[in-house]
Amino acid sequence: MDLDDTAARLGAPVEEVERVHRLAGDRPSAPLPAKADAPALLDRLAVRPEDAAEILAGWPDPDSPLWTPELRWLLDRSIALVRADLGGHDWLSPGPSLPRERGLAWRHLYGYAYLALVDVVRDYHREHGIADAVSWATLADLGRNLAIDRRMHREGWPVMQGWLTLHARGGLYELGRLQHERGGTAIGLHIPEAGPLSPSTIEASLDEARAFFPRHFPDEHYTAFSCGSWLLDPQLREYLPEDSNIVRFQRRFTLEPYEEGDGPDADVEVRRFVFRTLTTPLDELPRRTVLERAVVDHLRSGRHWHWRRGRFPI
């Protein structure tokens, strides 16, 4: 196939199309579930009705005029790319960002890839003795992220599509309040949008992980929990009370030294996670909570937030 032509038709950088072609190769893909079964599956994955309706309307039926040959190629090779790294836990983009305004097939292509991988990764979970309840709780992050993307007026998905390949490869598990990522000697902690960070729910999630990983991945040996986030920025203590959940969460960690440029742009990430918008002017952002006021006041003063990394022993 002509990768330059495919990239042009996809409106994507040729380097990204070449990467998909190289990583997927001729490896096996996986079929989508039957369309008749999709509504029940989407419900299990916590996909909201408005997002489910779009996904069903854009479904890649064999005779669908929405699906051009290059889109069908990308869907097939994206599934193969992710499937080839089953069990992996490094960041993996499933393909190039697409011009999603072109239609439903463009908007939800990586969502369809995720649906095709649900049975693949659930088989992987079963091989490791992981309970169905954990599988579904983990995989239901799809619905949460689609809802966030809609709230962000489609600004969020280019980041989220890579994030969700962790779930689809068995690299991450939602255990109570926190998501836990495999890798190295530390279990990586992630904080979904799922309510307060109360110390009791955090400790319960950590206890669950302390039992979960030795039981299901006995060949992996973890000595610490780790996290990289703007939530660990000590500057938050200038604004938040000492008994706030965020400050108490911070106290668990020993921070690594801060280096300018380490990690993603924290000013962007704070706006993404606190306000779910990247384009609203600072003066128009809400100031309903202490955290919202802290973020806005800090940025308006000309200061910057920092992405910090830390860990604590298991």
Three-state SS string over the chain comes to CCHHHHHHHHCCCHHHHHHHHHHHCCCCCCCCCCHHHHHHHHHHCCCCHHHHHHHHHCCCCCCCCCCCHHHHHHHHHHHHHHHCCCCCCCCCCCCCCCCHHHCHHHHHHHHHHHHHHHHHHHHHHHHCCCCHHHHHHHHCHHHHHHHHHHHCCCCCHHHHHHHHHHHHHCCEEEECCEEEECCCCEEEEECCCCCCCCHHHHHHHHHHHHHHHHHHCCCCCCCEEEEEEHHHCHHHHHCCCCCCHHHHHHCCCEECCCCCCCCCCHHHHHHHHHHCCCCCCHHHCCCCCHHHHHHHHHHHCCCCCCCEEEEEEC
Residues 162-198 pLDDT 10s: 999 999 999 999 999 999 999 999 999 999 988 889 9
Per DSSP, what are the bridge partners of residue 254? 311
Residues 8-47 pLDDT 10s: 999 999 999 999 999 999 999 999 999 999 999 999 999 9
Residues 41-92 pLDDT 10s: 999 999 999 999 999 999 999 999 999 999 999 999 999 999 999 999 999 9
- Dihedral over Cα of 104, 99, 68, 167: its sign: negative
| pLDDT value at 107 more than 90 | yes
| pLDDT value at 1 more than 90 | no
Please give the pLDDT value at position 157: 67
Three-state SS string over 101-144 comes to HHCHHHHHHHHHHHHHHHHHHHHHHHHCCCCHHHHHHHHCHHHH
Residue reference for tokens 């080839």: 84
Cβ of 204: how many Cβ atoms within 10 Å?
Answer: 15
- CB burial string 1-10: b at 16+ within 10 A, e below: eeeeebbebb
Please give the pLDDT value at position 262: 80
Which of left, alpha, beta for 269 (phi over 0: left; psi -120 to 50: alpha)? alpha
Domains in the chain: boundaries = 3-170, 175-314
Average model confidence (pLDDT) for the chain?
95
Pairing of strands 186-190, 172-175: unpaired
Domain 175-314 has CATH 3.40.630.120: yes
CA distance 121 to 5: 33
User: Radius of gyration (Cα) for the chain, nearest Å?
Assistant: 20
CA distance 65 to 271: 38
